[in-house]
Structure 1
């Protein structure tokens, strides 16, 4: 199984999260997979310590901050193409016992699965809606506009698809915080689109896998814990605009041509306004917590 599986992650001053990631990984699978860390410019010494202290860990310095998808592509390039499955995961993931073996077992049940994702729990124990539908233009706009003020609106409810969190099933896309990827599928679509510096790269990946004939399968019997958004919550002025730029890129790519230019202009303007509002709200909340 060691030759069947490899793990990749991306660091950017991830601190103690990386140690927890590696310590709990030993509980996730009976294999001893190789781990490749793509470092985007950490200054905390954690990636170097991981390579020194853990067997089968390889550190790759990307030479710049490539973003998440670009760095994952760089890490995957270090792995022998004969390795059948690649695990892509954030360094702030803590693995549940047997979680990767559960994903591998599901991959055998779903031979057309290009990606498989676990049930993701938040630090408070709640379930994060990690298995979602692809946001098409109308539904995505409805979710973006109404999601913050009317959480149970039909667009958001359909997009999150949260009512079936206990059912193993194909979905539109899976959270990139933890994915088991079939290498042939990943290579077929040329991996992550590195134009997405941060956010939406997983939505784009799942959508392109689906269009190429692969499935994205949610596996709730595999569980992980994800300390979601610790960087985003501390840097809303950087992270939230990046999220909105990626949302625009996703929809613009899927609505090309001169006839749809007015749609793209309206979408860009609307997302810019929404981004400014979101940053102000996040900053107020951050100041409230700090005080």
Structure 2
């Protein structure tokens, strides 16, 4: 029915929250996908030689997951393909470990794919760890003009222009369903029959641009890629890789690989030269950027809401934050405790109603951690709870 594939590299606590949400989504899928969905679904986690003890930590907590341990970091594309060879599902969901899903995610996606035989793949609306919409939820192919507008800043200046903002398809409403060019590899639901035609991810891409390449090949095979505004998922940014000089070089080198693979003609060399120049300029800017740190005058204040028994457990364990009872408005950050009284879907809805842009942390019922991420440029916060 469905095979969920997750590639992990040193993010065991974020993956813990992700797997908690995956489990709930599997249990809740019967409403849309039928009672047999959960029994036929499978979850495969490929660990790319993590040094944080991910498998030892997670295996006993999630016995329904099939863990595959690599002895080296094989890269995102190869690790996904490794799991793909073992998948039995009609649909394959390539999912990042730093994501959290609402309970109805699988059922809604399954229903859409069943009703749209022209759909080769779909992606969904994504928000970051503060509840902000992530524009990479839907993208256009990075043709020369599209990329020039993105790199030159024109896309940022005219975010809704059909001509100048095609990189993020800014002219298409994030609140509506659309056929789009590129889906994000953070959540990429693909028909297995289509992957049998196109093949999996191109392993020449070690990291980045492999989702663009696969999206392109899906369209070339005669199918459409769709963006869905519901369900909405959380995608914490900057967890598996930091947005540093190495990231800049890896990302734009992957873009050069994509251009060299799919673009020909006299303009291709200029496009590659433009990308190489941008790598150089962006690297200089990243290296020279100083991180500004303010001096904290007191312990940060946290307001906890959600499942009552989880709240009691968390209050006993947090030692570097001051828990307040006055209400969310007077707190520096909000901690949402998922459980019977507060679902992942409730948390995601509340996060999007965060006008003050407060820091948000999430604790899944039964997990041993609280996680949150405020920016794609720095690693998120992890609070480890004692058993």
Q: What is the CA-CA distance between 1:241 and the residue it aligns to?
A: 0.3
Closer/same/farther in 2, CA of residues 280 and 232 from structure 1, 3 Å limit:
farther
Q: Does 1:268 align with 2:304?
A: no
Closer/same/farther in 2, CA of residues 215 and 139 from structure 1, 3 Å limit:
same
Q: Does 1:240 align with 2:248?
A: yes
Identify, as 1 or 2, the structure richer in helix: 1
Structure 1 counterpart of 2:283, from 279, 284, 289: 279
Normalised TM-score (structure 2): 0.68
CA deviation map 1:142-194 (0-9, x unaligned): 32233587464855512211341111121111111011111111121011111
Q: What is the CA-CA distance between 1:289 and the residue it aligns to?
A: 4.8
Match of 2:129 in 1: 123
Cα distance in 1, alignment partners of residues 132 and 96 from structure 2: 19
Maintained 8 Å contact 1:147/1:153: no
Maintained 8 Å contact 1:106/1:219: no
Cα distance in 1, alignment partners of residues 23 and 154 from structure 2: 38
Cα distance in 2, alignment partners of residues 101 and 19 from structure 1: 22
Cα distance in 1, alignment partners of residues 142 and 274 from structure 2: 16
- Residue aligned with 2:242, SS: helix
Match of 2:72 in 1: 64
Cα distance in 2, alignment partners of residues 266 and 289 from structure 1: 40
Moved over 6 A (4+): none
Structure 2 counterpart of 1:98, from 87, 100, 104: 104
Closer/same/farther in 2, CA of residues 275 and 227 from structure 1, 3 Å limit:
same
- Residue aligned with 2:202, SS: coil
RMSD across aligned positions (CA): 2.2
CA deviation map 1:255-275 (0-9, x unaligned): 23xx53xx4443333222212
Q: Does 1:255 align with 2:282?
A: no
Larger mean Cα displacement after TM superposition, 22-31 or 210-219: 22-31
Q: What is the CA-CA distance between 1:240 and the residue it aligns to?
A: 0.9
Maintained 8 Å contact 1:72/1:88: yes
Match of 2:152 in 1: 145
CA deviation map 1:7-55 (0-9, x unaligned): 1110111120110011111222332532111111101111332223212
Q: Which runs of 5+ in 1 are unaligned?
A: none
Q: Does 1:21 align with 2:18?
A: yes
Structure 1 counterpart of 2:53, from 18, 22, 45: 45
Match of 1:197 in 2: 206
Match of 1:133 in 2: 140
Q: Count residues with an aligned counterpart.
A: 281
Normalised TM-score (structure 1): 0.88
Match of 2:165 in 1: 157
Cα distance in 1, alignment partners of residues 189 and 155 from structure 2: 31
CA deviation map 1:105-156 (0-9, x unaligned): 1111211211111111111111112111212222223322335874648555
Structure 2 counterpart of 1:206, from 215, 229, 238: 215
Match of 2:378 in 1: none
Cα distance in 2, alignment partners of residues 221 and 184 from structure 1: 24
Structure 2 counterpart of 1:8, from 1, 5, 8: 5
Maintained 8 Å contact 1:121/1:223: yes
Structure having the higher Rg:
2
Match of 2:318 in 1: none
Q: What is the CA-CA distance between 1:217 and the residue it aligns to?
A: 1.0
Q: Does 1:111 align with 2:117?
A: yes
Q: What is the CA-CA distance between 1:196 and the residue it aligns to?
A: 1.0
Maintained 8 Å contact 1:232/1:240: no
Closer/same/farther in 2, CA of residues 147 and 248 from structure 1, 3 Å limit:
farther
Cα distance in 2, alignment partners of residues 289 and 283 from structure 1: 17
